[in-house]
């Protein structure tokens, strides 16, 4: 082993730490770095933004022989997002990578105190035996987030943490209402053993204070409550007091690899799921409740490695007997070292108490005719709910916005940028290059509209025209926006926008929320910045900001088709911003124009629903299905994927026997039944690959699958006779170059990337084919149709379709699409042809894809898999809502909670899926890929969904209706006189109480479907109140018959 060494952090200068805004997608505009007295301070100004810095060492440093990297730091306001906190930089490896992640944000404590964390260098030093420097990253959770670095060392063993550094030097004084509670002498281990396992030394004794809470610290020989790292277990401690809060000084050990459902090839760094850790509070009267404790050290409901103070919120009206900690994680070890009860008013605020009740309180519109008043180069827009003032020159720019009915000023000074931006040949045209030539109001059958015309001479003659259209709906529409090439040469033109904000709603920023309906919809009030491609990642065309307290909101919606674009939303200390980025630079000949889709900006009450409702109304006006959807597909809730050859195979290669019936029996036993069997690897040909017997290619029926088509068809028919539908997996994009088609046409059809290279699936010989190629579409259409005719299947699948991500943009000039080709457009044409071709031979076949496509593409399909709930784990919204499921309810969705890995114990994801009334995609051997509690949750949810499939497949659905209770959400599914409500408690404590129901005279019967019990509704004036009992972060379900 090499001797321990320190990197010369103390000798570095401020200028040595170089900001690298191009290294990340969300660079902060005003990052700072400073070296003072040997300490490096890296800071980011805006929440939701970040920065990476590089520091190159005076000379290369050898990593080989060093076991660990030690990092002494202090972090404050830093988010747990970002791909790393610290990385080493070195010579590029064979795959072109010139850095390696060493520390992740979740490895750090963001409490503003000095800490030392160690990282294992065993794998890093193999790829980078010598390093040139390091890179550090800060992503801001709050404005002014900072990371201070005092020491980076290369050491042979992990440095222990000194417990004495956590506490004040002097013993803590007694505080009224805070009573330390002695731990029972029945603990499973001595404190000394727990301290050694947690690598903690220098333990003080007696009364000490941390985070303002006094604790009585025991001797290290005292027994303490613990759970072991390698076990799932419970431990408890007695309280025996009436209290509002209980504080536990805890040593948390997170060891080993993360469970596969939560991360791929990663270490366990945090736990925030109630499936893995929760507490049960038992009261003297025999009642109990569950909770996820607040981590006071990290200001969040989370466990992280190291020492922390946990706060358990209790019912102060009852005597609290004991608290039981439920450790259901194989990598968690927990020690309770000291406990203090708060017998008076709470010392720590509960973040859940700040949750709003999202009440829809309609504003009384002013009685006026929407109009635009022109005066010189200004325009004042009068709408029933609000007023907007725009400066028209040199380009339209918002000067002020006011919700007149809510008496809320959104914008009190001119926004810094114009509403629209123009590009010519990829370069932005300065706004001052434009000149307002005409502004006039015209009246027609649809009301008044204001026409604007602008001219530009540099860099080429242009005319920009648009119409501003005010409406009774309190929207200001920007319509008929066009950019005319007045020059004598062709140019690539682009118009972007509108860009709105930053604007403020109400007086306090914490009361401003937003709905940004990307995959994993962002519904929250935290500061953020999001920008996503229209397609699978952002499948709809609206976003909203709202303040429930001020009852004021603003939304943006577009009425576009398949133009290449990104949607963006940001919230920071200055307010909220909306933006629409049109990405394509469109070749435009002389005299021709580029047209931009219509956009509407609307005032609203303090809710997001108005924007969504008007968008949904527009969508319905143009949403015409090319062929009828399959009603039976809407009633599929357990969607089972099985394999012929892999995992638990359903085909015996030696005997040629199919065992598809075993999948049905297993599904009934383990999952409570399945309605659909999706057969994955049927199209494999040994020595060639996945070819599916495409027209003109190898076929698995030519020897791989014995008995050919007849035997496979018979096996499928056997499943169908049991009432289970069956369908086939086919790759939508990948073509095996070893096959006949790949060898003959692959290179011509292949996606060409921006750098000119042809695209392959990473590390394989499967070529990524452009979905716009006519010949490829014909091959696929013929293949799908033939398989339907031959095998009599009920459904066909297009793998990878729906995402329409930028990685599949094609830069070929020979495929017949614009350059670059936009996957939203190419996938639409591809799926449309498949739909028509399949329907010509069997109209009842369902067509589905891997992700929910964008709104304008969804009409060609019957449904899709979905990663929306999986993505909610990353975005962490207030409530896990799948917005498209409610916007086009005839489109069936199946949530993939984890792909190609065990689902394990993530029952929370199962319940999120149920809350949205969706189906679930089930993969892998049931006995080993699902924990018993997960299987039980699937069976429970499936039973309710199937019993009430008439409601859950109904088009009459409404997301997040008003419950009247902050933190308790409900979705409504209506059929006839029956309404089924799925419920979600976003709080971290059990909720027992009532929610708002229908008018009492309309309620005939209420049943708690989740608990399988009749419920007696209460009355509240004209309304009913429905009793509910919801676990923390948990779900429920009520049926109301009118």
> Given a cut of 80, is residue 236 above it in pLDDT?
yes
Tokens of 773: 């190629």
pLDDT the model gives residue 1000? 82
Report the 10 Å Cβ neighbour count for 801.
Answer: 28
Tens of pLDDT along 861-870?
999 999 999 9
pLDDT the model gives residue 262? 87
CA dihedral angle for residue 90, residue 96, residue 100, residue 104, rounded to 10 degrees? 140
When pLDDT is averaged across residues 584-601 and rounded to a whole number, the result is 96
Cα–Cα distance between 255 and 979 in angstroms, integer?
A: 46
Tens of pLDDT along 106-117?
888 887 888 889
Q: Give the count of alpha carbons within 13 A of 969, CB side only.
A: 25
pLDDT band at 81 (very low <50, low <70, confident <90, very high): confident
Tens of pLDDT along 1002-1035?
888 999 999 999 999 998 888 899 999 999 999 9
Q: Give the count of alpha carbons within 13 A of 512, CB side only.
A: 26
Tens of pLDDT along 139-165?
998 888 999 999 999 999 888 888 998
> Given a cut of 80, is residue 670 above it in pLDDT?
yes
970 φ/ψ angles, rounded to the nearest 5 degrees: -145, 140
Tokens of 892: 């069936």
Tokens of 66: 């060093």
pLDDT band at 803 (very low <50, low <70, confident <90, very high): very high
pLDDT band at 47 (very low <50, low <70, confident <90, very high): confident
Q: Which of these ranges, 185-189, 606-610, 650-654, has the smallest mean pLDDT?
A: 185-189
- % of the chain surpassing 70 pLDDT: 99
Cis peptide before 498 (omega within 30 of 0): yes
When pLDDT is averaged across residues 220-234 and rounded to a whole number, the result is 94
pLDDT the model gives residue 107? 85
When pLDDT is averaged across residues 3-8 and rounded to a whole number, the result is 94
Cis peptide before 459 (omega within 30 of 0): yes
Q: What's the pTM?
A: 0.92
Is 572:46 a contact under the CB 8 Å cutoff? yes
Residue 585: in which H helix or E strand, if any? none
Tens of pLDDT along 342-390?
999 999 999 999 998 888 899 999 999 999 999 999 999 999 999 999 9
Cα–Cα distance between 56 and 777 in angstroms, integer?
A: 51
> Given a cut of 80, is residue 626 above it in pLDDT?
no
- % of the chain surpassing 90 pLDDT: 86
Tokens of 705: 């699958």
pLDDT band at 265 (very low <50, low <70, confident <90, very high): low
When pLDDT is averaged across residues 540-568 and rounded to a whole number, the result is 97
> Given a cut of 80, is residue 264 above it in pLDDT?
no
> Given a cut of 90, is residue 194 above it in pLDDT?
yes
Tens of pLDDT along 489-499?
999 999 999 99
DSSP E strand boundaries for 486-564:
491-496, 499-503, 513-516, 522-524, 528-533, 542-547, 552-559
Which of 107-121, 440-454, 586-600 has the highest average model confidence (pLDDT)? 586-600
Following DSSP, what letter does each residue of 982-993 receive, concatenated? Answer: EEEE-SSB-EEE
Tokens of 789: 């005719």
Q: Which of these ranges, 264-273, 283-292, 808-817, has the smallest mean pLDDT?
A: 264-273
b/e string for 558-593 if b means 16 or more Cβ within 10 A? Answer: bbbebbbbbbbbbbbeebbbbbbbbbbbbebeeeeb
When pLDDT is averaged across residues 835-851 and rounded to a whole number, the result is 97
pLDDT the model gives residue 478? 98
What is each CA distance from 934 to 141, 332, 899, 937, in whole angstroms?
33, 19, 16, 5
> Given a cut of 70, is residue 1001 above it in pLDDT?
yes
């Amino acid at each position: 082993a090499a001797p321990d060494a320190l990197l010369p952090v103390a000798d570095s200068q401020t200028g040595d730490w170089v900001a690298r805004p191009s290294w990340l997608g969300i660079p902060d505009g005003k990052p700072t770095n400073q070296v003072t007295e040997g300490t490096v301070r890296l800071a980011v100004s805006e929440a939701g933004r970040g920065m990476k810095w590089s520091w190159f060492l005076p000379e290369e440093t050898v990593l080989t022989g060093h076991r660990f990297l030690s990092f002494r730091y202090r972090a404050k306001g830093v988010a747990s997002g970002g791909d790393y906190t610290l990385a080493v930089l070195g010579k590029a490896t064979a795959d072109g990578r010139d850095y390696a992640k060493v520390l992740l944000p979740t490895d750090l404590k963001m409490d503003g105190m000095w800490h030392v964390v160690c990282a294992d260098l065993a794998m890093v030093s193999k790829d980078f035996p010598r390093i040139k420097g390091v890179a550090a990253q800060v992503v801001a959770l709050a404005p002014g987030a900072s990371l201070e670095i005092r020491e980076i060392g290369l050491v042979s063993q992990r440095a222990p943490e000194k417990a004495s550094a956590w506490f004040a030097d002097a013993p803590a004084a007694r505080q009224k209402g805070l009573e330390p509670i002695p731990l029972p002498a029945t603990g499973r281990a001595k404190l000394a053993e727990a301290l050694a396992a947690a690598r903690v030394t220098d333990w003080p004794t007696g009364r000490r204070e941390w985070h303002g809470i006094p604790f009585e610290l025991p001797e290290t020989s005292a027994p303490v409550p613990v759970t072991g790292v390698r076990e799932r277990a419970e431990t408890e401690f007695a309280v025996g007091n009436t209290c509002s809060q209980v504080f536990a000084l805890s040593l948390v050990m997170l060891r080993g690899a993360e469970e596969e459902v939560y991360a791929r090839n990663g270490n366990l760094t945090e736990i925030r799921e109630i499936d893995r850790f929760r507490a049960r509070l038992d009261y003297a009267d025999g009642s109990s409740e569950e909770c996820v404790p607040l981590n006071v050290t990290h200001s969040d409901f989370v466990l992280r490695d190291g020492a922390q103070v946990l706060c358990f919120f209790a019912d102060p009206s009852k005597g609290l007997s004991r608290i039981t900690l439920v450790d259901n994680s194989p990598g968690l070890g927990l020690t309770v070292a000291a406990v203090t009860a708060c017998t008076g008013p709470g010392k720590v605020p509960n973040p859940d108490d700040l949750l709003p009740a999202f009440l829809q309180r309609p504003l009384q519109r002013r009685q006026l005719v929407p109009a635009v008043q022109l005066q010189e180069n200004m325009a004042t827009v009068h709408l029933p709910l609000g007023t907007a003032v725009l400066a028209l020159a040199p380009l339209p720019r918002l000067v002020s916005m006011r919700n007149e009915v809510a008496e809320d000023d959104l914008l009190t000074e001119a926004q810094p940028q114009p509403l629209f931006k123009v590009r010519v040949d990829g370069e932005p045209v300065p706004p001052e290059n434009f000149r307002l030539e005409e502004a006039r109001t015209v009246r027609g059958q649809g009301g008044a509209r204001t026409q604007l015309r602008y001219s530009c001479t540099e860099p080429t003659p242009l005319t920009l025209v648009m119409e501003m259209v005010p409406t009774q709906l309190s929207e200001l529409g920007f319509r008929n926006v066009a950019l005319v090439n007045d020059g004598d040469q062709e140019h690539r033109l682009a118009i972007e926008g509108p860009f709105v904000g930053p604007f403020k709603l109400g007086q306090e920023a914490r009361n401003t929320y937003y709905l940004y309906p990307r995959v994993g919809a962002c519904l929250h009030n935290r500061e953020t910045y999001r920008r996503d491609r229209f397609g699978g990642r952002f499948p709809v065309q609206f976003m909203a900001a709202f303040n429930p307290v001020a009852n004021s909101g603003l939304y943006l919606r577009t009425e576009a088709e398949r133009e290449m674009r990104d949607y963006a939303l940001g919230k920071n200390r200055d307010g909220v911003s909306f933006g629409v980025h049109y990405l394509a630079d469109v070749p435009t000949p002389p005299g021709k124009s580029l047209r931009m889709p219509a956009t509407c900006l609307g005032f609203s009450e303090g809710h997001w629903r108005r924007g969504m409702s008007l968008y949904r109304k527009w969508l319905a006006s143009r949403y015409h299905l090319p062929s009828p959807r399959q009603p039976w597909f809407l009633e599929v809730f357990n969607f089972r994927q099985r394999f012929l050859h892999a995992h638990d195979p359903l085909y015996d290669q030696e005997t040629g026997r199919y065992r598809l019936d075993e999948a049905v029996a297993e599904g009934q036993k383990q999952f409570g039944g399945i309605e659909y069997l999706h057969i994955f690897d049927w199209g494999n040909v040994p020595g060639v690959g996945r070819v599916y017997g495409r027209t003109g290619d190898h076929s698995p029926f030519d020897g791989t699958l014995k008995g050919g088509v007849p035997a496979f068809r018979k096996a499928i028919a056997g499943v169908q006779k049991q009432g289970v539908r069956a369908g086939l997996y086919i790759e939508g994009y990948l073509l095996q170059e070893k096959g006949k088609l790949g060898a003959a046409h692959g290179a011509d059809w292949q996606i060409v990337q921006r750098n000119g290279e042809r695209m392959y699936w990473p590390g394989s010989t499967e070529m990524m084919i452009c979905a716009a190629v006519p010949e490829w579409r014909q091959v696929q259409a013929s293949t799908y149709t033939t398989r339907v005719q031959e095998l009599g299947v009920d459904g066909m699948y297009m793998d990878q379709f729906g995402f329409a991500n930028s990685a599949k943009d094609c830069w070929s000039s020979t495929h017949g699409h614009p350059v670059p080709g936009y996957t939203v457009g190419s996938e639409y044409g591809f799926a449309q042809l498949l739909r028509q071709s399949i329907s010509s031979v069997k109209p009842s076949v369902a067509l589905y894809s891997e992700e929910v496509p964008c709104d304008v593409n969804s009409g060609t399909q019957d449904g899709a898999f979905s990663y929306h709930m999986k993505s909610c784990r990353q975005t962490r919204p207030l409530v896990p809502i799948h917005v498209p499921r409610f916007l086009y309810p005839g489109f069936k969705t199946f949530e993939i909670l984890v792909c190609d890995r065990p689902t394990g114990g993530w029952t929370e994801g199962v319940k999120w899926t149920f809350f949205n009334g969706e189906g679930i995609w089930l993969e892998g051997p049931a006995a080993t890929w699902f924990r018993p509690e997960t299987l039980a949750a699937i069976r429970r949810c499936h039973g309710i969904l199937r019993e009430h499939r008439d409601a859950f497949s109904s088009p009459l659905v409404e997301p997040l209706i008003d419950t009247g209770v902050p933190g308790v959400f409900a979705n409504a599914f209506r059929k006839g006189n029956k309404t089924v409500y799925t419920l979600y408690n976003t709080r971290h404590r059990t909720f027992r109480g009532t929610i708002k129901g229908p008018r009492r005279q309309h309620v005939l019967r209420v049943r708690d479907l989740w608990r399988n019990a009749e419920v007696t509704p209460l009355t509240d004036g004209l309304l009913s109140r429905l009793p509910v009992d919801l676990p923390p972060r948990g779900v429920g379900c009520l049926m109301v018959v009118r």
